[in-house]
Amino acid sequence: MPITWSPDTRELRLANDRVAYVMRVHDDSALGHLYFGAPLPSGRPLEHVESAGFSGFSNRVGEPVALEYPTTGSGDYRIPALTVEHADGSTVLDLSYAHHKIVPGKPAWDGTGLPTTYVETDDEAETVIVTLRDKLSGMAVELAYTIFAGRPVVARSARIRNDGTTSVRLTGAMSASLDLADARWQFVQLSGAWARENHVVSTPLRPGRQSVGSDRGSSSHIHNPFLALQRATTTEDQGEAYGLSLVYSGNFIAEAEVDPYDTTRVRVGISPNTFTWTLEPGGAFVTPEAVLVYSASGLGTMSDALHGLYRDRLARGTWRDKPRPVLINNWEATYFGFDETKLVDIATSARDLGVELFVLDDGWFGRRDSDDTSLGDWFVDRRKLPNGLDGLARKVEALGIRFGLWIEPEMISERSRLFEEHPDWAIGIPGRPRTESRQQYVLDMSRPEIVDHLFGVLSDVLASAPISYIKWDFNRTITEPYSTALPPDRQGEFFHRFVLGTYDLYARLTAAFPDVLFESCAGGGGRFDPGMLAFAPQAWTSDDTDAVERLKIQWGTSMAYPLSSMAAHVAAVPNHQTGRITPIDTRAAVAFFGVFGYELDPTELADADRASVRAQIAFYKEHRVVFQRGRFIRLRSPFEAGERTAWMAIDPASERAIVGYFQVLNRPVPTADRLRLCGLDPARTYRVTGWPDVADPLFRDNTGEWGGDELMELGLSLTAERHEAAHWGDFRAWLFVLEKI
C-alpha cells in the first residue's frame, strides 16, 4: 500500500518506488512534516527527527519545527500556509490533527470548478485526507495528498471549512507548504516577459524570503507558476531537485524562506496579495492543486515526471492522446489585412506542402481591421468573408485539410456593440477611469451571466461552421480589479472568481465541442500553465518565433511542460520580433520539438524554401510521435553553454530518438567537442542519420551504426575540419536521427 498509518508512531507515510513523503502527528497534535525525498525502504520510524510541534510561548518562540500547514500568530514567523481573520478581528489559528482517511485513487473535491490531475483507475494512485481542526473557532482544514504509482510525485490541495458559528475571512490559503531541513538550495524560476517567456533563472537561497508570482490576473509572461529547488551541484542528470508546480491560471505565489536556523520553508498557492475569501458558517474553500516532485537524479527526472503527469493525467479529452496536426496560422502572414481569397490561397498553398490544418487568426469578426475594435462582437465580418465562416471553412475542408479559428473570449473593445450594450460588463471601478491595454478591456468573468453569454455566442460560432480547432487568446492583464456584482467586503474574491469563471467557460465549451482541438494562448505564453493544460492540451509557447530566441524559451518551458503542450512554428524572416534572419531549416529544427506549424505566407516563399517546407513537413510527420510524445532530454543549456544548445527526444517505445544540436554563432577553428547522449539502451546498436544536409561534415563523421554505450559515453563529435566549418555560417542546426537496430 503506498499510504500507511502507524498508530504507534503516529506516522503517515506515502511511498512508492520513486519517493517517500512522511508526516507525523506530534505529541501536541500538530501535523509535522518529517520527510520528502528518495524512498526509505527500511520503513523505520522517523519520530526522532521531530517529536513536537509548535508550542508557542511555552517553548522557545521561532524554533524551526517542520509543519504540513503552518499558521501564524503563535511564534512561527515563517511564511504561513493559512492566514485568517476571525469575526472578532483576531488572526490566530491552532490547527491540531483530528483524523485522517486513506482512499484508493484520487477523489476530487465536489463542485470546485478547479482543474486537477486525475487517475483513470483507482490502482493508479492513493490519497490520504488529513483533517486538522482549530478547537476555538471550529475551523477545519482537510489536507489531501495523492501519491501516484510509479511517479515521483505528490499532489496536494486543501479544503478549508468553517464549521464554526461566525464568519471567517481567509487572507491566504496555500496549496502546499513544504519544510526542508537545510538551506543549501538554488531557487530556480521561469521568468521573462512577452516574447521572452520562461527563461531559466537560478539563484542561491539566502536568509529571508525569495519569491515569484503574479498579481496581474493571469499566471503571466513574467513568472510561471513553477519553482524548482536544486543543489548547486545538481545537473540535468545528477543531484537532488524539487519541483513545485501549481495547477492554476491566476494570481499566484511561489516562495521560499530561509529562517535563522538555516531551514527552508517553501509555499505555493494563490497570491495572498490579492486574495481574501469570506467563509460563512458551513462554507468551504478549496485551493488549487500543487504538484510536488522530488528527483535524486537531476532536473531531467523532475521534468520527466511533470511531463508524463501533465501529458497523460492533466490534459483531457479526445486530443489528449491523438497526433496533433501540422498547422498554418495566418497571423504573421496577413495580420488584420485579409479576405477570403487571400486565406484560401494561403490554405491551398500550405495544403500542397503537406499542412493539415489552416487556422484563421484575429480579425475575422465585427469590424476588426486593427486591434482597437470589435472584441466581444463574435459575428463574422462579411466585408472580409462574404460567405461567412461556414463558406470559408468549407472551402478549406474541400482542400482536404481542417479549419481552425482564433477567439479571445474574456475581452471587450470599447468600440464594440457589446460595450455599447453592456458597458458595465468590462472590469472597472465605478467612477474611476479604466486602464486600456492593447486598446481593450477585460470582461468580468466572475459574473455568471457574462460567462453564460459567452458560452451562448461562442457555441453559435463553433456550431456555425466545420471548425476543428480553436486558438483561445488572452492579450492583456487585469487593471482596476473590481466586480460590481460583489459586495464591498468580498472584493478580495474577485481575482479567484474571475479564474473560476474562465474555467467554467472552458469546461462548458470543451464539453460541448469534444472533438475540437483547443490551444490556449495569452499573447504567446502569458497563460502557459497547468490550469490551462487541463482544458487545452497545447498552448502557443511564445509570440517570439525567432529560432535563436526559441531555444531559450522552449528549453525553459520544458522544465515543467511536455512537448505535446508546446506549440512551435516556423515564421518568415526577417523575424517579426527580432529582425533576425536564420536559415529556414534551423527554424524548423527548433520548432520540430513540440507541436509543429507555420506562421508565414507560403504563397510568398521562393521555390527553394517551398521545397524545404515540403521536406520539413514530411520529416515531422515521419517522426511526429517522437516530437510530440517523446521523452524530452535537455543536453546542453542555451543559458549556460552560450552558442551551443542540444536536446533530444526519445519515442515512447524507445525505438527512435532525435537529437537537436543548434549553434548560434559560428567560430573559426572548431575546438574538440563531443555531445554525450542520454536515455539510450547501452547494449543496443543504433543507426544514426542526419537532417537536413546529409553532406554536412558533422553527419559524415557521425552517421553510421553505433552502440548506445558509445553514443552515451563517447558521444557525437561536434567538430569539423576548420575549412569545412568555415562554411557553416551562423544559426545552424543539425538533427541526428537514431534508430535502434
Q: Cell numbers at residue 221, please?
A: 509572461
The Cα–Cα gap between 268 and 255 comes to: 6
Nearer to ligand DGJ, 50 or 361 (CB): 361
Reading the block at residue 656, the C-alpha cell is 527512435
Q: Does 377 sit near ligand DGJ (CB under 6 A)?
A: no
Q: Which of 543, 585, 651, 696 is catalytic?
A: 543
* Minimum CB distance to ligand DGJ, residue 329 (Å): 7
**What residues between 505 and 534 interact with ligand DGJ by CB under 6 A?**
521, 523-524
The verdict on whether 607 is a catalytic residue reads: no
Strand order from edge to edge, sheet including 11-15:
3-6, 11-15, 20-25, 31-37
Residue nearest to ligand DGJ (CB): 362
Could you tell me the smallest distance in angstroms from the CB atom of residue 598 to ligand DGJ?
Answer: 13
Which region, left, alpha or beta, applies to residue 109 given φ > 0 means left and ψ of -120 to 50 means alpha? beta
Count residues binding ligand DGJ (CB under 6 A). Answer: 11
Find cell 479544503 and name the residue: 159
The answer to whether 651 contacts ligand DGJ (rule: CB under 6 A) is no
To the nearest 10°, the Cα dihedral for 444, 445, 449, 455?
130
Interface with ligand DGJ includes 358 (CB under 6 A)?
A: no
DSSP state string for 690-723: EES-TTSHHHHHH-EEEEHHHHHHT-EE----HH
The four Cα atoms 415, 452, 335, 371 give a dihedral, to 10 degrees, of 20
Restricted to residues 38-67, the positions that interact with ligand DGJ (CB under 6 A) are none
Residue closer to ligand DGJ (CB basis): 306 or 522:
522
Residue 594 touches ligand DGJ, criterion: CB under 6 A: no
Residue 424 a catalytic site member: no
Question: Residue 361 is which amino acid?
Answer: D
How near is the Cβ of 218 to ligand DGJ at its closest, in Å? 13
Q: Which of 543, 544, 651, 696 binds ligand DGJ (CB under 6 A)?
A: 543
Shortest distance, CB of residue 415 to ligand DGJ, whole angstroms? 15
Residues 6+ apart with CB under 8 A from 677: 635, 648, 657, 659, 711, 712, 715, 716, 738
Fill in the per-residue mask, 428 to 467: x = in contact with ligand DGJ (CB under 6 A), - = not in contact: ----------------------------------------
361 sits near ligand DGJ (criterion: CB under 6 A):
yes
Q: How far apart are CA 607 and CA 598, in angstroms?
A: 17
* Closest separation in Å from C-beta 599 to ligand DGJ: 8
Q: How far is the CB of 392 from ligand DGJ (least distance, A)?
A: 17
**One of 11, 362, 651, 696 touching ligand DGJ (CB under 6 A):** 362
Alpha carbon 180 to its chain centroid, in Å, reads 25
Q: Which of 473, 544, 585, 696 is catalytic?
A: 473
What x/- string results for residues 389 through 408 when contact with ligand DGJ is judged by CB under 6 A?
-----------------x--
**Closer CB to ligand DGJ, 428 or 597, in the complex:** 597
- Report d(CA 198, CA 222) in Å as an integer: 8
Q: Compare residues 523 and 690 and give the one whose CB is closer to ligand DGJ.
A: 523
Nearest CB to ligand DGJ, comparing residues 250 and 597: 597
Of 168, 171, 148, 179, which is closest to residue 70 (Cα–Cα)? Answer: 179
Q: Which helix (H) or strand (E) holds 343?
A: helix 340-353
For ligand DGJ, the closer CB: 109 or 336: 336
Beta bridge partners of 295: 241
Distance (Å, rounded) from C-alpha 138 to C-alpha 453? Answer: 40
Among 540, 555, 620, 691, binds ligand DGJ (CB under 6 A): 540
Closer residue to ligand DGJ (CB): 326 or 521: 521
If one asks whether residue 475 binds ligand DGJ (CB under 6 A), the answer comes out as yes
Pick one of 252, 331, 441, 731: the residue that binds ligand DGJ (CB under 6 A): 331
Question: At closest approach, how far in Å is the CB of 307 from ligand DGJ?
Answer: 23
Smaller CB separation from ligand DGJ, 297 or 541: 541
**Contact status: 473 vs ligand DGJ (CB under 6 A):** yes
By beta-carbon proximity to ligand DGJ, the closer residue of 155 and 375 is 375
Could you tell me how many helices (H) and strands (E) the chain has, helices first? 15, 38
Closest separation in Å from C-beta 468 to ligand DGJ: 17
Distance, first Cα to last Cα, the chain = 40
Could you write out the DSSP letters of every residue in 556-595? HHTTTS-GGGEEEEEE-SS-TTT-----HHHHHHHHTSSE
Q: Grid coordinates representing 406?
A: 482564433
Binding mask 210-249 for ligand DGJ (x = CB under 6 A): ----------------------------------------
Cβ 206 vs Cβ 140: under 8 Å: no
Minimum CB separation of residue 32 from ligand DGJ in Å reads: 46
Instruction: Provide the minimum distance between the beta carbon of 473 and ligand DGJ in the complex, in angstroms, as a whole number.
Output: 5
Give residue 374's region: left, alpha or beta (phi > 0; psi -120 to 50): left
Active site (catalytic) residues: 473, 543
- Given the rule CB under 6 A, which residues bind ligand DGJ? 331, 361-362, 406, 473, 475, 521, 523-524, 540, 543
